[in-house]
């Protein structure tokens, strides 16, 4: 089955620093990847849609200058949290859509737990 | 306003029984509805997808129904096992939704007791 990896799985950083999270589709190509954020006991909230070779589409209320997304290849998207603050602490999950399928099934990565001190 | 609701935050059942989870939606016309399993500290894992013109879909011990009149999907796990304990999320793709944007419910945490 389709496998999506994320790196790192956990990161702790100081307030004001930037953190980069990688999302890779390991056995399929993904023109579209999605970035979600999940707070405890809450549903996944879509932050942005990452499109290979073009600019990401951000959801309302998500600051594009704070959450930089780069989708440089069909198998890699990165999310950089710039000047991180404690309120950015959350569980960040990426997903990828398999271009070979004709449904909107998404395959999720294992998530990255970000803690900003 | 648009809502997708999983009515039970938690569901506790005995091993061997059938677990039934509910997902209701308001002011959406979904093209598909999907169910995912999420374990603590992990990303969701896709389980089943049901289209708006399908009434029922099965996969091993799992069964999903989709009633567009009631605007509801039911997710059943038969012969439940402690290993089925997890949070189950329903998600929909609104008809006409671009690039497969998924809208998720908050999930129902299922606990299966031995």
The residues in B 29-58 lying below 8 A from A, measured between CB atoms, are 31-32, 34, 36, 41-46, 49
The string of pLDDT tens digits covering residues A22-58 is 999 998 888 889 999 999 888 899 999 988 888 899 9
Q: Is the per-residue pLDDT at A99 higher than 70?
A: no
CA distance A2 to A28: 7
The string of pLDDT tens digits covering residues B62-103 is 999 999 999 999 999 999 999 999 999 999 877 766 556 788
CB atoms < 10 A from the CB of A78, how many?
Answer: 19
**Interface membership of A77 toward B (CB under 8 Å):** no
What average pLDDT does the segment B5-17 reach?
Answer: 93
CB atoms < 10 A from the CB of B30, how many?
Answer: 22
CA distance A54 to A16: 28
Write down the pLDDT at residue B86.
97
What average pLDDT does the segment A59-69 reach?
Answer: 93
In chain A, residues with a C-beta closer than 8 Å to the C-beta of B23 are none
**Interface membership of A56 toward B (CB under 8 Å):** no
* Closest of B29, B26, B32, B25 to residue B57, by C-alpha: B32
Q: Contact B43/A108 with Cβ under 8 angstroms?
A: yes
Min CA distance, B17 vs chain A (Å)?
Answer: 26
Q: Contact B33/B43 with Cβ under 8 angstroms?
A: no
CA B105 to chain centre: 9
Q: Is the per-residue pLDDT at A98 higher than 90?
A: no
Min CA distance, A44 vs chain B (Å)?
Answer: 6
Per the model's pLDDT, the better-predicted residue between A67 and B98 turns out to be A67
CA distance B65 to B57: 7
Min CA distance, A76 vs chain B (Å)?
Answer: 17
CA distance B24 to B3: 8
Write down the pLDDT at residue A27.
86
A40 sits in which H/E element:
none
CA within 13 Å, CB half, B90: 29
Write down the pLDDT at residue A103.
61
The secondary structure of A63-84 as a DSSP string is -TTTEEEEEEETTEEEEEE-S-
The string of pLDDT tens digits covering residues A103-112 is 667 889 999 9
Q: Is the per-residue pLDDT at A100 higher than 70?
A: no
**Interface membership of A43 toward B (CB under 8 Å):** yes
The secondary structure of A13-39 as a DSSP string is E-TT--EEEEEEESSS--SEEEEEEE-
Query: Hunting for tokens 């012969």 — which residue is that?
Result: B79
């Amino acid at each position: 089955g389709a496998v999506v990896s994320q790196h790192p799985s956990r990161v702790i950083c100081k307030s004001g620093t930037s953190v980069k999270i990688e999302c890779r589709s390991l056995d399929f190509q993904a023109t579209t990847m999605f970035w979600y954020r999940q707070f405890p006991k809450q549903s996944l909230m879509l932050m942005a849609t990452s499109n290979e070779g073009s600019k990401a589409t951000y959801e309302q209320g998500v600051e594009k200058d704070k959450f930089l997304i780069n989708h440089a290849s069909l198998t890699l998207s990165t999310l950089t949290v710039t000047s991180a603050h404690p309120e950015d602490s959350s569980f960040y999950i990426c997903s990828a859509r398999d271009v070979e399928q004709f449904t909107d099934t998404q395959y999720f990565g294992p998530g990255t737990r970000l803690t900003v001190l | 306003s648009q809502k997708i609701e999983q009515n039970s935050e938690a569901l506790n059942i005995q091993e061997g029984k059938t677990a039934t989870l509910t997902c209701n939606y308001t002011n959406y016309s979904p093209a598909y509805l999907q169910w995912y399993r999420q374990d603590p500290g992990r990303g969701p894992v896709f389980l089943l997808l049901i289209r708006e013109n399908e009434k029922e879909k099965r996969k091993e011990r799992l069964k999903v129904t989709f009633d567009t009149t009631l605007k509801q999907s039911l997710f059943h796990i038969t012969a439940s096992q402690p290993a089925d304990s997890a949070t189950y999320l329903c998600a929909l793709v609104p008809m006409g939704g671009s690039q497969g944007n998924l809208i998720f419910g908050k999930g129902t945490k299922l606990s299966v007791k031995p």
